Every structure is written in structure tokens, then in C-alpha cells.
Structure 1
Amino acid sequence: MDFVNILLEKKDDGIAIVTINREKALNALNSDVLDELAVAFDELDKDDSVKCVILTGAGRSFVAGADISEMAPLEAAQGYKFGKKGMDTFMKVEKCSKPVIAAVNGFALGGGCELSLSCDIRLASSKAKFGQPETGLGITPGFGGTQRLIRTVGSGMAKEMIYTAGIIGAEEALRIGLVNHIYEPDQLMDEAIKLATTIAKNSASAVQYSKSAINNGVQTDIETAMEIERSAFGLCFATEDQKEGMKAFLEKRSPEFK
């Protein structure tokens, strides 16, 4: 697929960068953008050379939200279908076997906040703004916001953000646990690449098993979650990475994972 609304760069060090590139529309998510994101993450999921993914936006916005001009005329059945498209696409991001880092460079509102929530780790520019303003538009969050936000910042704060349609800055996002770190705008991508590089140096299979165990376990009771972890732990011992990692430790050298 030839991408029109996103940029996909694969670097030699195992890092891929996906940039939503509708700068004039503040990277608003329409059906075309969602389709391209779905294709890109399917490709990244299957590419063994990719160890970590960075997702960001062009210009001064990460994603300013879903495209209101596309949503405004929709009837109930069409709204359901559009919501499903967004949810399905974001689920591909969440379930991508590679860790995904959101480099939130500006506005992350509505669908943009929800897209960042589907990523594993969120880094924010000091100028970033987060919010779920949908109730001010007469709708609910529709791309996973009512579910992922509560799992990230807790029930009370998620409800306050959604009910008030308020917008918060990077410092407040850090305080409530919505983002991991804040950086100055000109340092954000360098720091995202630094973090991705650190992740990419570790065992890809171990990182992938860890992501799967975390994402699947958090949805279940503790006993089921422990079984999920035991299974992932056991599977690691069938990999060359486990052999190499422990051999390197015993030989007091850096591992060379393949």
C-alpha cells in the first residue's frame, strides 16, 4: 500500500517510526488515516527486523482527534461502524508484538488521546495537551477511551476527564500517570529513539512475551494472570535468546541476541 496520510520509516537499528502526516488538519483521524495505520501496523507486526515502534505526529499535533467533518453527518449505524474502525485499528497498535512508544508532540485530544493509550509507553513534549472532549460534542469517546483511560489513570480521574471534556497539560498528565516522561519539544524524538534503542538491544522474544503477558494478564483475575506469566516464562526456555542471554551472563559479556 502506498501511504498518503502517514510516513513509515524503518531504521537499521530495528526501530520503526510511524508519523501521522495530515499536518494541515492537525493529523485528525479520518477513515483513510485509520486504514493506513491498520496496514502499517500489520506490516510492522510481521517484520522480524523491527524491534520497537515509535508513533508520532507531524507538526504541532500528535492527533487532534477524529475528523469531525466525517463524523458530523453520521447516523447511529454509521457511527457504530466508524467507532468499530477506530477500535479495530487501535487494537492492532495495542496487540502489535513489538513495543510501541507514543511520542506525543502536541495535541492528543479525543481519538489522539485514545491512540496514545493504545501504545505501551507515552512520552510527552512539554507543550503536549491531552483530553477526551467528546461529551462537549454530544458523543462518548468511541475509540477505546472509556476503557483504556480508566485502566491507565484510574476510575475517578478518567471519569473527571471524560465528564468535563477538559484538557490537561503535560505536567498534569505526568502527575496522574497518563505519560511516563516529559521532554522539551526539540528533545522528544531523540529521547524516544534513545528509549526504543534500549528496548531493541534486549531479547526481542522476551520483550514480546512480556508484552503479551502484561496485556493479557491485566484483563483477568490474578490466578489466571499468573498462569499466563508462567506460560510466557516457560516458552522463553525454548528460545535461542534465553540460551545466549544466560550464557553471556555467566561468561561476563554482553549478549548477542538474534
Structure 2
Amino acid sequence: MDFKYLILSTEGRVATLTINRPEKGNALSPSVLEEITLAFNSLNERQDINVIVLTGGEKYFSAGFDLNEIRKIEKISNEEYIELFHRAYRAIMFCQQPVICAVGGLAIAGGFDLSLMCDIRYASEKAKFGQREILLSLTPVLDPLWRIIGLGRAREVTLTGRIYDALEAEKMGYVSKIFPEGKLLDSVNEIAQNMAGYDRRCLVETKQLSNRVLNEDLESSMQIQKWLFRSFMGSEDNHKRIDELQKKLISGCRR
């Protein structure tokens, strides 16, 4: 795939997708959104890729909507642009592989929403987050935000439009871990490589499970989890990985 605004690289079973529009702070133009959708739809079909990392590099993530593009839009002709956003959002959220977001700088408005669609978020200590739609007389993407940080905190984020630093984002549970400036991508790649070494089908099923149980009552969730657990326990890969783990434990005890 040839992209103008994205850089796609692969290492082992990890694909890293980097938004590359630094002169605009990685702002989300229609072309950027189309390329994101195309990239994730393509990666979704690749059996050799177990984990995807979405980033903007060490300095940026995305400053949000390309305001020059939005300024051209009239209410009667906004449907196509809105669809571009939601196709990109859905391509990330419903991609079968786990998606890790590595935020090195601003993740604002549409950039925040892109990070929201990922399964795990890591940040540089210089990262900043804000769902700023309210400042532009736009309504926010409240779901899945409230599922991640709770309804009360999600209301604060969306209604105030304020910007949070990485530490605040970590405290509210939006970011899983903060890394020193300049160390983000190497640290996230190490995590992704470890994850990518796990059974691919188990990774995919676990991601699907995390989405499915949100809409079930407790009894139904327990039944789904029991059935899924049974489908993996006793498999050839399960036995193989038990043997490998036991060998590592024995080797560690002998040192």
C-alpha cells in the first residue's frame, strides 16, 4: 500500500501505523481519514499481523480536525465528511487485532477520538488529551469514552472541553502507562512484540469478548466466558505454551 499521510512498517507480527502530516500537527483531513480506513481494513485481513500500533511519532499524535476543511462544510452537505470520520473510527475499533495507541504529543478533538477507538493507550510524559468538540459547537463521541473512564468523568471531559496532561489521563484510567519523552515508541514496541507472540486466535477472541460482555447481563457474561475458556483449554497450543512456561520456571529456579 502506498500512502501520502501514513507510514506503515512491520516488525515480526507487529504493524506500526504512523500518521505523517507534521506540518499540520497530524490534523485529520479527508485524505488522512481515508488512508486510515484503508490501512486498518487491509491490516484486519492479514493473518501475519497479531498486534497493531497507531501513533503519530514521539512529537505528535493528532491535533484533531483539519479546521480549514471543516470551515468549507455546510450543514446540508456534511454527511460525506461525517462518514469519513466514522468509517475511520469503526475500522480501528472493530479491527480484529488488538490496537495499541502510542501518544507522543497532542491528542485533541478528532485526534482524541482516534485514540479512543484503540484498545490500549500509552503516552509520553509530554502528551496532552482533550475532547474539544464543545468549543467548536460540535457534539462529542461519548461512547465508548464513558465505558473507559466512567460516566461522571466522561461528562466532565466532554462538557468542559479542557485539556488534560498525561498524568491526569493516567489517573482517570484513560492512559495505561506513561513513558519518558523520547522513549515512547521503543517501549510500546516492546510491549507489542510481547503481545504479538501470544496465540493469535486467543488475542482476537479476547478483544471480541471485551466488547461483547459490555452489553450482557452478568449471568450471560459468565456463560460466554465459560464457553470461550472451554474452547481453548486443552488445545494443542495451550499444552505447548504450558510446557514452555514450565521450562522457563524450572530454568529460573536453577539460577
Instruction: Give your verdict on TM over 0.5.
Output: yes
Tell me which of 189, 198, 202 is aligned to 1:202: 198
Deviations 1:44-84 (A, max 9, x none): 11111111111100462201111111112323343343223
Describe the SS at the equivalent of 2:133.
helix
Deviation, structure 1 residue 228: 3.1
* Distance in 2 (alpha carbons) for counterparts of 1:238 and 1:81: 49
Deviation, structure 1 residue 134: 1.0
Contact 1:23 1:58 in 2 (8 A): no
Amino-acid identity (%): 33
Contact 1:15 1:50 in 2 (8 A): yes
* Distance in 2 (alpha carbons) for counterparts of 1:84 and 1:220: 28
* Distance in 1 (alpha carbons) for counterparts of 2:5 and 2:32: 6
Q: Report what 2:7 is aligned to.
A: 7
Q: Report what 2:74 is aligned to.
A: 75
Q: Report what 2:247 is aligned to.
A: 253
Deviation, structure 1 residue 248: 4.3
Deviation, structure 1 residue 243: 4.2
- Structure 1 residues 227 and 73: alpha-carbon distance in aligned structure 2, compared to 1, 3 A threshold: farther
1:12-23 matched pairs, under 5 angstroms: 13-23=12-22
TM-score (norm 2): 0.90
Deviation, structure 1 residue 233: 2.3
Deviation, structure 1 residue 244: 2.5
Describe the SS at the equivalent of 2:183.
helix
Contact 1:114 1:148 in 2 (8 A): no
TM-score (norm 1): 0.89
Deviations 1:98-148 (A, max 9, x none): 11110000000011111111111100011101001111111112xxx2112
Describe the SS at the equivalent of 1:66.
coil
Structure 1 counterpart of 2:145, one-letter code: L
1:1-258 matched pairs, under 5 angstroms: 1-11=1-11, 13-58=12-57, 60-141=59-140, 145-236=141-232, 240-248=236-244, 252-253=246-247
- Structure 1 residues 165 and 7: alpha-carbon distance in aligned structure 2, compared to 1, 3 A threshold: same
Deviation, structure 1 residue 85: 2.2
* Distance in 2 (alpha carbons) for counterparts of 1:38 and 1:239: 35
Q: How many residues align?
A: 248
* Distance in 2 (alpha carbons) for counterparts of 1:191 and 1:155: 31
**Structure 2 unaligned runs (5+)?**
249-255
* Distance in 1 (alpha carbons) for counterparts of 2:173 and 2:142: 16
* Distance in 2 (alpha carbons) for counterparts of 1:69 and 1:160: 28
* Distance in 1 (alpha carbons) for counterparts of 2:225 and 2:129: 33
